[in-house]
Amino acid sequence: MIIILSLVFILLIFLFGSNKTAQSIVTTLINLGVFFGILFAIFFGMNPILATIIGCVIISLVTLFYQNEVNIKTKSAFYSVLIVLIISMSFTFLICYYSNIQGFPTGQYEIRLSNGYSDEIEVNMMFLQIAVILIVLIGSAIDTSLAVSSALYEVKENNPDLNKLDVFNSGLSIGKGILSSTINTLFFIFIAEYLSLFLYLVKYYDFLQILNSKEFAQEVITISIAGIASVIIIPVTAFLCSRRYK
């Protein structure tokens, strides 16, 4: 069924989409390959954070420069993503360290020795949790940054007399409109993906237990950090564009 749905999706892309849309399919396949590269790198002993950072940089390069060409807009977006990735990694490390959300939650009954699985995967689980969060946030960060940089480029092209402060303020205004849709997208993905988990928690736990459960905390913290990164990248992109666009 997965193969059939994938073939139907690709067929519709080629029938009704442009070359740009078809190019996005190639980008997705490359990014999927990068993801498996991250997985195997961690499996063979590479630090999960280092492997993920390298993977996120490659994903950014492919998504921005292959799919959207090399120009001042994509370069500005790429630099912004790198800055936000470094910032996000810093406070993500602190949050994961103090919240202790790494590892397998108690609700993941399938990961048990009695079921034939081993929970000793010989990987630093805190580093792995940070890697998961970075992978979650990179997509929304790239999309938001490219949207802001592209819109600001058009603003500057049509209003060449705008000074750097005006361009920066325009970027913040543009970002407000983009941010609402980005946050909504993250929120609904979160709700849809973990609906069964919520039903399970509501049935077997009271409100305080839900708030303190590792299952709930992992997902809320992950999606919250992704949202924070989507917010931070707006002023970062606006600032870089205001300095780079002449």
- Rounded to whole angstroms, the Cα distance separating 212 from 196 reads 18
Task: Among 50-64, 120-134, 193-207, name the most confident range.
Answer: 50-64
**pLDDT for res 110:** 52
**pLDDT for res 69:** 84
**pLDDT for res 78:** 95
Report the percentage of the chain scoring pLDDT > 90.
26
Task: Among 15-29, 130-144, 178-192, 204-218, name the most confident range.
Answer: 130-144
- How many CA atoms are closer than 13 Å to the CA of 149, on its beta-carbon side? 28
pLDDT one-digit tens code per residue, 74-114 = 999 999 999 999 999 888 888 888 877 665 555 554 555 54
Q: Which of 83, 90, 75, 76 is nearest to 56 (CA)?
A: 83
**pLDDT for res 36:** 93
**pLDDT for res 201:** 73
- Long-range interactions of 6-13: CB distance < 8 A, separation 24+: none
Residue 117 pLDDT > 70, yes or no? no
Instruction: Indicate the pLDDT class of residue 119, thresholds 50, 70 and 90.
Output: low
- Rounded to whole angstroms, the Cα distance separating 68 from 153 reads 14
- Contact assessment for residue 221 and residue 144, using Cβ atoms and an 8 Å cutoff: no
Residue 203 pLDDT > 80, yes or no? no
Average the pLDDT over 58-77 and give the result: 91
Report the percentage of the chain scoring pLDDT > 70.
89
Q: What is the CATH number of domain 2-244?
A: 1.20.1640
What does the DSSP assignment read for 66-108? IHH-SSHHHHHHHHHHHHHHHHHHHHHHHHHHHHT--S--TT-
Instruction: Give residue 143's identity as a one-letter amino acid code.
Output: D
pTM over 0.75, yes/no: yes
DSSP 8-state code for residue 65: I
**pLDDT for res 120:** 60
Average the pLDDT over 59-74 and give the result: 90
- Residue boundaries of the structural domains of the chain: 2-244
**pLDDT for res 109:** 47
**pLDDT for res 216:** 76
